[in-house]
Each structure stands twice: as C-alpha cells, then as structure tokens.
C-alpha cells in the first residue's frame, strides 16, 4: 500500500485526502458503516464479545456496551484479514469515545501509537478458563 500526501494538508494517506479532509470534503458525512469496518462479521463478533464480558473493562459499567477495535484490529481490517476476538475490547460508550479522543481525531487508524503499558483484556482471562 502506497502512501501519498493529502491534497489539503500534506499528511501521508492511502488516498488523495487524509481521513480528516476526506470527511470535510464529503460535507461532514461519514462513509457507510460497512466501509468503515462495521459489517455483518463485526456485528456478530461484537455480540459475542459483549455476551462473554457484560461490563466495561475500563470503568465496570454494565450499560451502553460496545466493542472497540484495537489498532491491531484496524491493521487486520485494512489488510483484508478477519478481525479476531482478541483484537477488540468491550467498553461502554463513554469510555469508547474517550479512547477515540485519546487516539487523536486527525490520525489514521494505523498511525495510532499503542499504549506502552501491557494490557490484559478480560476476554483473554476468560479464554484461559475455557
């Protein structure tokens, strides 16, 4: 995959515009959910993860649970590979938005710098018991 400079800001991108300017160019409309990685397989995987872990791994909330793509999940998606259960985290909506903001709105998914601290997902602990 070849990177090229965004025609608006010069940030390296896979397309002629970076994600930020692509969104602005489309009048603020996001790409279709399926295009953004939320297809049928993702919805099934999300349901499975939330059934296995019915609480937010960041704050412990039990409502508004969502499955959050890790940077590894996005890398797999962009390579055309299936996202695996170990590539996602179960978090509440507030924590998911907080994570997204911490990653930086202007970054592409593959530019996200992983947290250097080791993370042990609750789903990993559940799998060890099985």
Query: Within the chain, how many helices (H) and strands (E) appear?
Result: 5, 4
Summarize pLDDT for 35-64 with one digit per residue, the tens.
Answer: 666 678 888 999 999 999 999 999 999 999
Tally Cβ neighbours within 10 Å of residue 87: 22
DSSP-based helix, strand, coil % in the chain, nearest 5: 40, 10, 50
Query: What rounded mean pLDDT belongs to the chain?
Result: 76
Angle at 100 between CA 107 and CA 3, to 5 degrees: 20
Which pLDDT does position 112 carry in this prediction? 40
pTM over 0.75: no
| Listed residue (92, 88, 3) closest to 38, CA to CA | 88
Which pLDDT does position 65 carry in this prediction? 96
As a whole number, mean pLDDT of residues 84-99 equals 92
């Amino acid at each position: 995959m070849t990177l090229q400079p965004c025609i608006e800001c010069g940030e390296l991108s896979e397309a002629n515009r970076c994600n930020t300017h692509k969104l602005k160019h489309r009048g603020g409309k996001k790409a279709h959910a399926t295009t953004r990685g939320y297809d049928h397989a993702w919805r099934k995987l999300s349901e499975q993860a939330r059934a296995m872990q019915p609480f937010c791994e960041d704050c412990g909330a039990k409502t508004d649970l969502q499955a959050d793509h890790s940077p590894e999940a996005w890398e797999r998606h962009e390579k055309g590979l299936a996202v695996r259960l170990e590539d996602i985290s179960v978090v509440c909506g507030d924590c998911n938005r907080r994570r997204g903001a911490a990653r930086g709105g202007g970054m592409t998914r593959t530019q996200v710098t992983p947290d250097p601290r080791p993370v042990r997902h609750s789903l990993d602990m559940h799998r060890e018991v099985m």
